[in-house]
Amino acid sequence: MKHTLRRITQKVSIWTIRMMDPTKYRHSAHMYESTALAICRKLAAKDSSILLLSPISGKRYIKSEDSQIYVIIESHLVTIVNHAYSYTIPIELKSHEQLTRMFDKEVEARRELMETEIRSNIKHSLTTIYNNLVNE
């Protein structure tokens, strides 16, 4: 009898925990999350998009001039804004980490490209630059 009572309370507590699980009812929110992440990936991969990182607030911004879409990536939110609509979509921690990692890699690739472009444009030696400044 003691064992049966223990098993019944165990089953009720497992059932209660399963019913209180928020991920069970997140199917539509998860669908929006995956769509928002796909939008962010597509926009960040475009060469015409402008990527901006704020080191103090930790926010990341994507600005697409072609399609007039602006994206703000915060800690647990992705905000997609256009002139006609604005969506704020909550994202999970794992998705946020993947998105920020992808964003940071894209920014780093663009930085390396810019740095190689800057270094390839070296045409004058330091003395020539100094002489030009002195003669002005």
- The answer to whether position 19 is within a domain reads no
> What is the count of structural domains for the chain?
1
- The answer to whether position 52 is within a domain reads yes
- The answer to whether position 43 is within a domain reads yes
- The answer to whether position 113 is within a domain reads yes
| CATH code: domain of residue 108 | 3.30.1120
For residue 22, pLDDT over 70 is answered with no
- The answer to whether position 102 is within a domain reads yes
In total, the chain counts a number of residues equal to 136
For residue 117, pLDDT over 90 is answered with no
68: alpha, beta or left? (left if phi > 0; alpha if psi -120 to 50) = left
Q: Which domain covers residue 90, as residue numbers? A: 35-135
Tell me what pLDDT residue 29 has.
58
Kindly indicate the confidence band of residue 130, based on its pLDDT and cuts at 50, 70 and 90: confident
Give the model confidence (pLDDT) of 69-99 as tens digits: 999 999 889 999 988 889 999 988 888 999 9
Buried-state track 28-66, b at ≥16 Cβ within 10 A, e below 16: eeeeebeebbebbeebbeeeebebeeeeeeeebebbbee
Distances (CA, A) of 13 to 53, 80, 102: 46, 40, 41
- The answer to whether position 11 is within a domain reads no
- The answer to whether position 8 is within a domain reads no
- The answer to whether position 20 is within a domain reads no
